[in-house]
Amino acid sequence: MRAPDNPVFAKGDVLLAVENVSLGFGGVKALTDVSFDIRKSEIRAIIGPNGAGKTSMLNCINGFYYPTEGRITFKGVKRPKMRPYEAARGGIARTFQNVALFKSMSTLDNIMAGRSIKMDSNFFWQLFRHGPAMKEEVAHRRFVEEIIDFLEIQHIRKTPVGRLPYGLQKRVELGRALAMEPELLLLDEPMAGMNLEEKEDMSRFILEVNQQYGTTIALIEHDMGVVMDLSDRVVVLEYGRKIADGTPSEVKGDQRVIDAYLGVAH
Amino acid sequence: MLYREAGQFKTNYVADSAIFPLRQDRIGLGLIIIAAYALAFMGSDFLLQAVLIPFLVFSLASIGLNILTGYTGLLSLGTGAFMGVGAYACYKLMTAFPEVNVIVWIFVSGFFSAAIGALFGLPSLRIKGFYLAVATLAAQFFLQWCFIRIPWLVNYNVSGALDAPLRTLFGTPIMGPNATPQTRYLVVLTIVILLTWLASNLVHGRIGRMWIAIRDMDLAAELMGIRPLQTKLLAFAVSSYYCGVAGALLVFLWYGGAEYDVFNINQSFFILFMVIIGGLGSLIGSFFGAALIFILPIVLGIVLPAMLSPFGISVGADVIEHLRFMIVGALIIFFLIVEPHGLARLWQIGKQKLLVWPFPY
């Protein structure tokens, strides 16, 4: 894998900006006037208590929801209303809170499926599984094998993912997202339900993805230790509003964040 | 001991992603194909005409429905109608252009049913599951209505029926009253093998992965950049293509003539049962399903009287008929309880066990 080199968006430039975004479902407001940005090659954490609107925020970013107010700019262009697959083709990949793998497929096929948008040999060659179709299959297989090596999942290459333990499923899901060579990777609770060892492994992979390939990562996580160690900057949501934004140490000392997490004495 | 993985090393990705990675599987497949061709010369006319030709036709239709329901997860009850489109298209084409070889028209007729299938697949973007099945029922009833009401489709034939005209390939009649079951079987067999091979290539490649992705987790598939509508419509088109060709084969190479009634809702259910019993998402399962649902009753019809007569029990044909239904029904329930994923899964488990036999794992 190589880092996507884009001269316009060097490390530190704003890759994605969320400006005054509100999202309502009928009378319920999931997000109210939230603004923050994600810079190229950083690890940005979104935290907050349950129901704070973190996943809704990710859903807005990858085109699953369209904000009722405000706007989202990605790579300097305002995002129009789009279908999720268009966002994916634009370079945004994500993993899910509840593992959303293709259960009946093997690890290899799951990650290969993640390469679908990079493959374009036509129907005719697909019918014969020869020529360009096979050449393409092999080229992408090589790339996928690199991801498999990177995530240390060689031994489960041909196992149907439905049979894998939870921790490995999460890892395969990360692999599938990486296969898209995304510019922005959204991770929704990548460490939920993991034991300490699995969390350490996952943290290592997230850091390596970020450092080796310069992939920008936005992650939602509840484990504060992980968030504080991994992320460059943290945005804190509560009841759909942003209550803090800054480096982990700034956020940790913020009185409103402490109140949100620990409760306020009445 | 003969069925072992040991010693077969894959040194490149092409070999590793082969559809049949085991040498023994490839040999077995080759033997089956040779045996299938040999049967044309050794089997009786009854075997060819009443068992093997329909078995192959139903297998092909099952593959078609399996692509849609098994691989892409879209339930359809319009199979019978899509088969009909193929048959009527084939009839129109070969009577309008008799100078072109009929084999060409059989393959081309599939495209008509593919187009109609894709059209009726449009609602699949919004609805799924049983609701989609009901939407495809619209195709079933509307198309069947067309078959009855549009006399142009049967060239204003007074009887309203399709009949197979005499057609030849290399001077040998392959269609019409003069074609022997042997030649018809050979034509059907070749077409089915060719189309099965193409389907197997499709489902093992990029397109197959996209279909399965939509089936297993459509939301995740879309968030990975897979266009849901195009992928689903492609499944509808390919599926209907197979059904269309199967429909043309059914009328012109098996029945030799048929009315609109063969393409009714029962036919759709018949094929759907084959797919479910055989195994959703499996090509070999389509053959198993067709064998169980179509061939087994025939075998029982022959075997049952022979089994009962030594005991001095002579039963009427009607009792045999009832027994047949009961046994087939019981077997279907048995197989569904033992392995809800169908005969294909049983086959797969059996092969897995054989690989490590005599050890449990």
Cβ-proximal residues to B148 (8 Å cutoff; 6+ apart), any chain: B160, B260
Task: Give how far A146 is from chain B: nearest CA, Å.
Answer: 13
Instruction: Fill in the DSSP letter of residue A256.
Output: H
> Last residue of a domain, which of A152, A181, A210?
A181
Closest Cβ–Cβ partner in B14, B206, B212 for A126: B206
* B17 neighbourhood in chain A, CB within 8 Å: 137-138, 141
User: Can you tell me the mean pLDDT for A168-197?
Assistant: 92
| Percentage of chain A modeled with pLDDT above 90 | 51
pLDDT at A62: 87
Q: pLDDT band for position B174 (50/70/90)? A: confident
Q: What are phi and psi of A49, to 5 degrees?
A: -65, 170
Of A100-114, B102-116, B189-203, B320-334, least confident by mean pLDDT is: B320-334
Closest Cβ–Cβ partner in B17, B207, B212 for A141: B17
Q: Does the residue A8 lie in any domain?
A: no
User: Can you tell me the mean pLDDT for A109-128?
Assistant: 88
Are the beta carbons of A126 and B207 separated by less than 8 Å? Answer: yes
B21 vs B82: CA distance, rounded Å:
34
Is the pLDDT score of B70 beyond 60?
A: yes
Is the pLDDT score of B196 beyond 80?
A: yes
Give yes or no: residues A41 and A78 share one domain: yes
Is the pLDDT score of A164 beyond 70?
A: yes
* B226 neighbourhood in chain A, CB within 8 Å: 85, 113, 116-117
Task: Give how far B69 is from chain A: nearest CA, Å.
Answer: 15
- Residue from A222, A206, A185 nearest A54 by CA: A222
User: Can you tell me the mean pLDDT for B131-156?
Assistant: 89
pLDDT, one tens digit per residue, over B23-53 is 888 888 999 999 999 999 988 988 898 899 9
pLDDT at A266: 66
Among chain B residues, CA nearest to A102: B216
Q: How many other C-beta atoms lie within 10 A of the C-beta of residue A205?
A: 19
Among chain A residues, CA nearest to B196: A127
User: Can you tell me the mean pLDDT for B330-337?
Assistant: 84
pLDDT at A17: 92
Chain A residues bordering chain B (beta-carbon distance below 8 Å):
62, 64, 83-85, 87-89, 93-94, 96, 100-105, 109, 112-114, 116-117, 119, 121, 123, 126-129, 133-134, 136-138, 141-142, 145, 176-177, 180
Which B residues in the span 193-222 are in contact with A, Cβ-Cβ below 8 Å? 198, 201-202, 204-207, 209-210, 212-213, 216-217, 219-222
Task: Give how far A229 is from chain B: nearest CA, Å.
Answer: 29
User: Can you tell me the mean pLDDT for B325-337?
Assistant: 84
**Mean pLDDT estimate for chain A:** 88
Give yes or no: residues A199 and A84 share one domain: yes
Among chain B residues, CA nearest to A63: B223
> Of B132-136, B161-165, B240-244, where does the model show the most confidence?
B240-244
* B204 neighbourhood in chain A, CB within 8 Å: 129
Q: What are phi and psi of A184, to 5 degrees?
A: -130, 125
Residue indicated by tokens 């360009």: A132
Give yes or no: residues A205 and A251 share one domain: yes
Q: Which of B17, B71, B206 to mutate to probe the A interface, most A CBs <10 Å?
A: B206
- Residue from B173, B176, B137, B189 nearest B32 by CA: B189
> Of A2-16, A107-121, B305-319, where does the model show the most confidence?
A107-121
A108 vs A156: CA distance, rounded Å:
8
> What range defines the domain where residue A108 resides?
100-181
Of A242-251, B63-72, B130-139, B351-360, least confident by mean pLDDT is: B351-360
Closest Cβ–Cβ partner in B212, B222, B226 for A105: B212
Residue B17 near chain A (CB below 8 Å): yes
pLDDT, one tens digit per residue, over A10-66 is 677 888 999 999 998 888 889 999 999 999 999 999 998 888 889 999 999 988 889
pLDDT at A7: 47
* A84 neighbourhood in chain B, CB within 8 Å: 219, 222-223
Residue indicated by tokens 């089915």: B192
pLDDT, one tens digit per residue, over A183-211 is 999 999 998 888 899 999 999 999 999 99
pLDDT at B82: 94
Q: Does the residue A3 lie in any domain?
A: no
Q: pLDDT band for position A3 (50/70/90)? A: very low
Q: Does the residue A2 lie in any domain?
A: no
Helices (H), A81-180: 84-89, 107-114, 123-128, 132-150, 166-178
| Percentage of chain B modeled with pLDDT above 90 | 43
* A117 neighbourhood in chain B, CB within 8 Å: 224-226
User: What is the DSSP annotation of B117-141?
Assistant: HHHHHGGGGT--THHHHHHHHHHHH
Closest Cβ–Cβ partner in B17, B216, B224 for A114: B224
Q: pLDDT band for position B197 (50/70/90)? A: very high
- Residue from B61, B69, B70, B63 nearest B281 by CA: B70
User: Can you tell me the mean pLDDT for B167-188?
Assistant: 86
B320 vs B325: CA distance, rounded Å:
9
pLDDT, one tens digit per residue, over A72-114 is 999 888 888 888 899 999 899 999 888 899 999 999 999 999 9
A2 by Cβ neighbours in 10 Å (0-12 / 13-18 / 19+) ranks as exposed
* A89 neighbourhood in chain B, CB within 8 Å: 225
> Last residue of a domain, which of A181, A206, A234?
A181
Token pair listed for B185: 């079987």
- Provide the residue ranges of all domains of chain B, joining segments of one domain with +: 43-264
ipTM associated with this complex? 0.89
Q: Which of B22, B107, B224, B349 to mutate to probe the A interface, most A CBs <10 Å?
A: B224
pLDDT at B232: 94
User: What is the DSSP annotation of A33-79?
Assistant: EEEEEEETT-EEEEE-STTSSHHHHHHHHTTSS--SEEEEEETTEEP
Q: Does the residue A6 lie in any domain?
A: no
- Is the link from the previous residue into B358 a cis peptide, with omega within 30 of 0? yes
Is the pLDDT score of B309 beyond 80?
A: no
B344 vs B8: CA distance, rounded Å:
24
Token pair listed for B233: 């419509």
- Residue from B30, A97, B263, A60 nearest B38 by CA: B30
Q: Which residues of A23-61 are buried (b: 16+ CB within 10 A; e: fewer)?
A: beeeeebbbbebebbbbbbbbbbbbbeeebbbbbbbbbb
What Cα–Cα distance (Å) separates residue B72 from each residue in B8, B68, B320? Answer: 33, 5, 39
> Domain count of chain A?
2
pLDDT at B1: 61
Residue B238 near chain A (CB below 8 Å): no
Are the beta carbons of A133 and B205 separated by less than 8 Å? Answer: yes
Q: Does the residue A10 lie in any domain?
A: no
Of A37-51, A153-167, B95-109, B323-337, least confident by mean pLDDT is: B323-337
8 Å CB contact between B205 and A127: no
Token pair listed for B294: 């179509």
Q: Which of B223, B227, B241 to mutate to probe the A interface, most A CBs <10 Å?
A: B223
Give yes or no: residues A119 and A140 share one domain: yes
* A137 neighbourhood in chain B, CB within 8 Å: 13, 17, 205-206
B193 vs A93: CA distance, rounded Å:
40
Task: Give how far A49 is from chain B: nearest CA, Å.
Answer: 25
Task: Give how far A180 is from chain B: nearest CA, Å.
Answer: 7
* B222 neighbourhood in chain A, CB within 8 Å: 83-85, 88
Give yes or no: residues A142 and A105 share one domain: yes
> Last residue of a domain, which of A160, A181, A202?
A181
Q: pLDDT band for position A2 (50/70/90)? A: very low
Q: What are phi and psi of B22, to 5 degrees?
A: -90, 135
Q: Does the residue A152 lie in any domain?
A: yes
Task: Give how far A4 is from chain B: nearest CA, Å.
Answer: 18
Give yes or no: residues A147 and A194 share one domain: no
Q: Does the residue A68 lie in any domain?
A: yes
Give yes or no: residues A83 and A190 share one domain: yes
Give yes or no: residues A153 and A188 share one domain: no
Is the pLDDT score of A263 beyond 90?
A: no
Give yes or no: residues A189 and A261 share one domain: yes
Q: Does the residue A4 lie in any domain?
A: no
Are the beta carbons of B222 and A119 separated by less than 8 Å? Answer: no
Are the beta carbons of B227 and A119 separated by less than 8 Å? Answer: no
Is the pLDDT score of A128 beyond 70?
A: yes
Give yes or no: residues A114 and A242 share one domain: no
Are the beta carbons of A100 and B210 separated by less than 8 Å? Answer: no
Token pair listed for B313: 């029990």
pLDDT at B169: 83
Q: What amino acid occupies position B60?
A: L
User: Can you tell me the mean pLDDT for B62-91?
Assistant: 93
User: Can you tell me the mean pLDDT for B207-231?
Assistant: 91
Give yes or no: residues A165 and A212 share one domain: no
Task: Give how far B353 is from chain A: nearest CA, Å.
Answer: 16
User: Can you tell me the mean pLDDT for A116-128?
Assistant: 86
Give yes or no: residues A83 and A192 share one domain: yes
User: Can you tell me the mean pLDDT for B182-200?
Assistant: 94
